[in-house]
């Protein structure tokens, strides 16, 4: 790329970042505090940010999972849940909760709200940003919590940690299973696709674009470029000048998107265990299709919603049963750095 064009691109990206930060500032008026306990946030707390709607099926284990990993405080936006999610969260002592009935799509799919909260509360903290159906794991997560992990990342000047989003599914259709929200959903969704992933480098933002997994195989085989993006950046040492651009797939400034190398060594990465296909996912797909809030061009994904609503069995003989983080490192789906593998 010519130097003049490179300078122009950097200038445009700076403007884009400033516009997104301004959008986030304006979006604060959409948020009504329900239980704001941010005064309890300690200087070294690891924070978690999420926007959710009607996630009572997942919230109990979600909180347990991330508390066990060392999250000190949860900052959550509830987007007009009507299944008891907000009532449950408002009583949790380590949760600060805001509510809004504004459009999820019009808020950049919730990122305007989250960016405002991150700008106000996350500066100088390590911040986890995930959806309610994403459970972060990483090499050694069973023996070192997020405090130890982030100390290791800081040692190598690694400000971010990337992760593959791993679609988990049952053997059999989702609605043929049973699930207790107090239990680990991986017990119900133990299978994943170990192969068939493709990655491209996006030169403008410097981020990877990874596609593949069960949804690509089952729902987008005829048009694979429309398949979901399967890489995210869920863990960031936050600065108030940062902003997520497209969900948590990429960030500005663009230097943050280089998730595969740190100080000349392979960067440690994780996995987001994606628990979308729990019982009830077909009915949820029908509701979300009607709301049309999850894609910029929702009509283009009607076939996808219809396919999920049919209660499909995603399992095939080549499916792999999840056994743990070492397996994912061996498969090359996440990188382990120098973690002891014994």
The CA-based dihedral angle spanning residues 141, 146, 147, 149, taken in that order and rounded to the nearest 10 degrees: 60
In a domain, 173, yes or no: yes
Q: Which residue is listed with tokens 């991330």?
A: 66
- Cα dihedral sign, 238-252-293-31: positive
pLDDT tens, residue by residue, 13-33: 999 999 999 999 999 999 999
In a domain, 338, yes or no: no
Q: Which residue is listed with tokens 């709607």?
A: 53
In a domain, 337, yes or no: no
Task: Evaluate if residue 5 carries a pLDDT over 60.
Answer: no
Number of domains in the chain: 1
In a domain, 339, yes or no: no
- Can you tell me the mean pLDDT for 88-108? 97
Which residues partner with 134 through β-bridges?
274
In a domain, 112, yes or no: yes
pLDDT tens, residue by residue, 174-197: 999 999 999 999 999 999 999 999
Looking at residue 341, what is its pLDDT?
46
In a domain, 162, yes or no: yes
Band (298; pLDDT cuts 50, 70, 90): low
pLDDT tens, residue by residue, 229-282: 999 999 999 999 999 999 999 999 999 999 988 777 889 999 999 999 999 999
In a domain, 340, yes or no: no
pLDDT tens, residue by residue, 305-329: 999 999 999 999 999 999 999 999 9
In a domain, 160, yes or no: yes
Range of the domain at 296: 3-330
Q: Mean pLDDT across the chain, nearest whole number?
A: 94
Task: Evaluate if residue 154 carries a pLDDT over 70.
Answer: yes
Looking at residue 122, what is its pLDDT?
98
Which residues partner with 160 through β-bridges?
236
Looking at residue 319, what is its pLDDT?
98
pTM comes to 0.95
Band (301; pLDDT cuts 50, 70, 90): confident
Looking at residue 38, what is its pLDDT?
98
DSSP 169: B
């Amino acid at each position: 790329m010519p130097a003049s064009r490179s300078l122009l691109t950097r200038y445009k990206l700076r403007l884009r970042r400033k516009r997104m930060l301004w959008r986030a500032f304006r979006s604060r008026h959409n948020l009504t505090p329900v239980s704001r306990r941010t005064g309890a946030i300690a200087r070294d707390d690891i924070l978690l940010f999420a926007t959710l709607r009607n996630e009572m099926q997942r919230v109990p284990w979600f909180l347990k999972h991330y508390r066990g990993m060392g999250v000190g405080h949860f900052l959550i936006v509830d987007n007009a849940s009507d299944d008891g999610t907000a009532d449950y969260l408002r009583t949790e002592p380590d949760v600060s909760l805001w509510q809004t009935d504004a459009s999820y799509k019009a808020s950049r799919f919730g990122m305007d709200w989250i960016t405002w909260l991150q700008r106000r509360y996350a500066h100088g903290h390590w911040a986890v940003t995930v959806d309610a159906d994403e459970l972060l794991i990483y090499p050694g997560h069973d023996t070192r919590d997020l405090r130890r992990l982030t100390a290791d990342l800081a040692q190598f000047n690694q400000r971010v940690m990337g992760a593959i989003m791993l679609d988990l599914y049952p053997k059999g259709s989702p609605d043929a299973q049973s699930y207790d929200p107090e239990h680990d959903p991986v017990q119900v969704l133990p299978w994943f696709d170990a192969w068939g992933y493709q990655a491209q480098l996006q030169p403008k933002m410097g981020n990877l674009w990874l596609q593949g997994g069960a949804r690509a195989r089952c729902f987008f085989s005829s048009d694979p470029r429309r398949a979901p993006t399967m890489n995210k950046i869920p863990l960031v040492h936050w600065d108030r000048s940062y902003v997520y651009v497209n969900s948590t797939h990429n960030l500005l400034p663009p230097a943050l998107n280089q998730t595969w190398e740190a100080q000349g060594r392979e960067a440690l990465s994780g996995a987001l265990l994606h628990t979308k296909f729990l019982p009830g996912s077909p009915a949820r797909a029908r509701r979300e299709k009607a709301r049309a809030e999850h894609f910029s061009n929702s009509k283009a994904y009607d076939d996808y919603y219809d396919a999920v609503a049919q209660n499909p069995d995603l399992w095939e003989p080549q499916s792999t049963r999840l056994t743990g983080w070492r397996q994912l490192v061996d498969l090359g789906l996440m990188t382990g750095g120098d973690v002891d593998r014994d």
